[in-house]
Amino acid sequence: MKASRIVAAGAAAGITVLALSAPAFAHVTVQPEGTAAKGGYAVIDFKVPNERDDASTTKLEVNFPTDHPLASVMPEPMPGWKIDVTKSKLDKPLEMHGEKITEAVTKVTWTAEGKGIEAGYFEKFPLSVGQLPEDTDQLAFKALQTYSNKEVVRWIEVPQKGKEEPDNPAPVLELSAASEDGHHGAAADEDSDAESAEKTSADTAASDSAAGTDTTARVLGIVGIVVGAAGVAYGVLAGRRRSDA
């Protein structure tokens, strides 16, 4: 009985370990490089894992939200991939920097010119986008992932708050609040870099000043030692002369 109980317990433990160690279901996601602040610009990366052992990912199509169109979308060149940017007319023109924008990017397509993303690997597809909307907390991008065996996985189900994640969730970009001083995204980063540079300059000046003070103290100390040694030598010589006399 004891042996059977031990075997049963061991089997149950083994099943639990296997369940916990099973890899999580991966899907296409989007994340900003830094922050994606409302009303600003950002660089965002679409992370695409290859989930097939017998095929590679050869195409990625990302569709942009039409309810919050983005006037500026610029892809970064990627070796081994052909990039196509599709623009469409807007039902309602946008205003950017005092100019009216009548069309916006509605889709970006990456097509592999070689093997693409092979089994066991992932790749990031970066885009510079803006201006980000100020009247929403997130943007959903519906994506299509095509494999070399012609299989197409449609990541188009928009996750809903309070509900379980769908089987094929669409990539969702979370937007952060704009800073209180009115800076957004890249501009805020530039100001931060400037402040950092000023602080570094001040620290360097303080360090140089401290170094100068320390050097002066060392020189005075050495001079004092030399003078003291000379005094001792003089005293010894004077004592010898008196003794000889």
pLDDT digits (tens, 9 = 90+) for 108-154: 999 999 999 999 999 999 999 999 999 999 999 999 999 999 999 99
Most confident residue range from 100-109, 191-200, 205-214:
100-109
Token pair listed for 30: 């989007």
Q: How far apart are CA 232 and CA 209, in angstroms?
A: 35
Residue 185 reports pLDDT greater than 60 = no
Could you identify the residue written with the tokens 């979308």? 73
> Is residue 205 over pLDDT 60?
no
pLDDT recorded at residue 99 = 76
**Closest by Cα among 48, 69, 67 to 59:** 48
Confidence of residue 53 (pLDDT cuts 50, 70, 90): very high
What pLDDT does 169 receive?
A: 96
What does the alpha-carbon distance between residue 142 and residue 113 come to, in Å, rounded to a whole number? Answer: 23
List of residues 6+ apart from 95 with CB closer than 8 A: 101
Most confident of 28-37, 215-224, 225-234, 236-245: 28-37
Q: Which residues of 152-186 are buried (b: 16+ CB within 10 A; e: fewer)?
A: ebebbeeeeeeeeeeeebbbebebbebeeeebbbb
Q: How far apart are CA 61 and CA 17, in angstroms?
A: 37
Question: 128 — phi, psi (to 5°)?
Answer: -100, 125
Find the largest Cα–Cα distance for the chain.
117
Q: What is the mean pLDDT of residues 61-86?
A: 95
